[in-house]
Amino acid sequence: MTSTKADSAPAVASATMMNVDMGGALSGLKDIADAYKTIATENMETITSSVQAIAAVRNPTEFFELQQKMMKANLTAAMSNSSKLAKLTSAFFTATLAPMQNQASVMLKTAGR
């Protein structure tokens, strides 16, 4: 079987698409890094305010009430952050793998001729 210019056109198109789509993957990676930075900043602010609140506690009852309030808030934040990071990570891998999947599809179609 000889290869013609028409046979190579889909592979060239796929390779071109791969170069364009990798920018989206890099953007997704930046979004993940920015999200981690934001979470780290928020966590540092939370730690600072928590230490200040604990220092202001006057009795054990107030301490336990504050502890429960902080645990609920931190659990809610952790769940929200986990969800956000999972969505960003999924989008990143989808953007990263899509060009390879497209290229493999074109190669399989070309090989099937």
Q: Secondary structure of the chain in the HEC alphabet?
A: CCCCHHHHHHHHHHHHHHHHHHHHHHHHHHHHHHHHHHHHHHHHHHHHHHHHHHHCCCCHHHHHHHHHHHHHHHHHHHHHHHHHHHHHHHHHHHHHHHHHHHHHHHHHHHHCC
User: Which pTM value belongs to this model?
Assistant: 0.68
- Residue 37 is predicted with a pLDDT of 97
- Residue 46 is predicted with a pLDDT of 97
Sorted by where each begins, the domain ranges of the chain are 8-111
Q: Is the pLDDT of residue 34 over 60?
A: yes
- Residue 22 is predicted with a pLDDT of 63
Q: For residue range 82-110, list pLDDT tens digits in order.
A: 999 999 999 898 888 887 888 888 888 88
Q: For residue range 36-75, list pLDDT tens digits in order.
A: 999 999 999 999 999 999 999 999 999 999 999 999 999 9
